[in-house]
Structures are given as C-alpha cells and as structure tokens.
Structure 1
Amino acid sequence: MASMVVISTTAIPDHVGGALSRWLIEPTPGLYVGTVSARVRDELWSAVSASVGDGVAVLIHPADTEQGFAMRTAGQRRRHVIDFDGLQLIRFAANAVDTTPASETASEIVN
C-alpha cells in the first residue's frame, strides 16, 4: 500500500536530487513529497543515505507509532533524532558535530 513520504535535503549531490525527482515532486528546493510504496521509499532512502556526502537528509513517513510517523536522518547535522519512551524527539547538539554515541537514549541524557 502506498503512503505519503517527505524527504528534506540540504547540500546533496545533484544526481541524488535527480533520482528523488523521478519519484517525488519538489515543491521547494530540497523538499521532496510524494506517495510511494514502502519498498520504493526504502530504496530511495538507501540511495540518498549512501550518497548524501557533506549534505543532510531527513525522511518522514507514516508508521504504526504513537506519533503516527517515523523519522530517519543521514549526514552531519546539529539536530539528532532520539527515542524517548517510544517517542521520537529532536535533540540539539552543542557543536555542529555530535560526539554522543548513537546508542545513547534520551533517558540517559536526562539523568
């Protein structure tokens, strides 16, 4: 079953944007929106995350969670998605590059 996906990108290579625009529309630069199957979504995300380079990409898609959606990120960024008791929240890193291990959870940060 197809569902809506949103991919936001910053400073990605041109060929990545071209690949995304084959499946999704680009209403503003770097923002791709469309309705695709889970398989196509995962294949697109694999291509984006593998070639994001110095850029940043965020994927938001429907999921069976309390929030109703899931987020995936790729690239160096100041904002990081963390899991807090099943909710995906955004944590800002003090520096542009975060030194916190990816496995650290929000409850460990708070304590």
Structure 2
Amino acid sequence: MTVIILTACPPGLRGHLTQWLFEISAGVYVGYVSTRVRDRLWARVIDMAGAGRALMVFQVRGEQRLSFLAHDHHWIPVDVDGVTLMRRPADPMVNPAVSGGWSKAAKRRRFGRRGRPA
C-alpha cells in the first residue's frame, strides 16, 4: 500500500494522483501500485509540487515493513539503528534555547513582571 500526503500543492498534481490512487481526504491519497509506478509518481510529485510539501509512506520488506520519503517537509525521515523515524523540528515552547529564547510576554507569564524567577 502507498500513501501520499500533499500540503499546499497545485490542483494539477492532485488531479494527476487521482489517476492512480484514491483520494480519501483532501490531499491524502492511498492505493496499491507497483514499485515502478510508485517511483514515477514520486518523481512527478517532486516535479509538480512547486512550493508545496509532500510525504509518502510505502510498504517494503524488513522489520519495520514500511518506509518514508519527504519533499520540502519540516519532518524528516531519519534512520536510527535500522528503524526509520520521523524527526520533527524542535518546539520552541518546550525548549526555548532552540528558538533563541522566550518572548517578552512568555517571560512575564513564566517568571513574573520583572522577567526574573519568582
């Protein structure tokens, strides 16, 4: 089974994918296609996506039994000891050091009026 998820892609690409896959929700396509067709569909997605983003999940042999491909997406597939995981960007609310610090309003809420721990 192959699943392709599109975000902010042109309608022409969406129409092209409906020739091969079922659109079960806006921008979500599923279906069974051969490896050759899947690779050509992914090449077409990359060519036609423009400023949009795309994710593809498909079945492969192995322990995890699926693999991921991403195009211009914030979440990136990363291999960790033979298992593919999706690395997502750091959330600035969880770790403010990643984004350069807290906003002034967040500092006031967290630490009080003067910006120091209460």
Which band: TM-score by shorter chain?
Answer: 0.7 to 0.9
Instruction: Return the match for 1:8 from 2, 5, 26.
Output: 5
Instruction: Compute the displacement of 1:85 (Å).
Output: 1.0
State the distance in 1 between where 2:47 and 2:62 align.
26
Please tell me the residue identity of whatever aligns with 2:84: Q
In the alignment, what sits opposite 2:87?
91
Q: How many residues align?
A: 91
Any stretches of 5+ residues in structure 1 without a counterpart?
A: 96-111
3-state SS of 2:18 partner: helix
3-state SS of 2:6 partner: strand
TM-score normalised by length of structure 2 = 0.72
Q: Which has more strand, going by share of residues?
A: 1
TM-score normalised by length of structure 1 = 0.77
3-state SS of 1:12 partner: coil
Instruction: Compute the displacement of 1:94 (Å).
Output: 3.3
Please tell me the residue identity of whatever aligns with 2:8: A
Using CA pairs below 8 Å that are at least 6 residues apart, which structure has the higher relative contact order? 1
Matched, 1:78 2:63: no
| Structure number with larger C-alpha Rg | 2
Any stretches of 5+ residues in structure 2 without a counterpart?
A: 92-118
State the distance in 2 between where 1:44 and 1:72 align.
12
State the distance in 2 between where 1:94 and 1:5 align.
28
In the alignment, what sits opposite 1:23?
20
3-state SS of 1:22 partner: coil
Q: Could you tell me the percent identity over the aligned residues?
A: 38
**Ranges of 4+ aligned residues in structure 1 off by more than 4 Å:** none
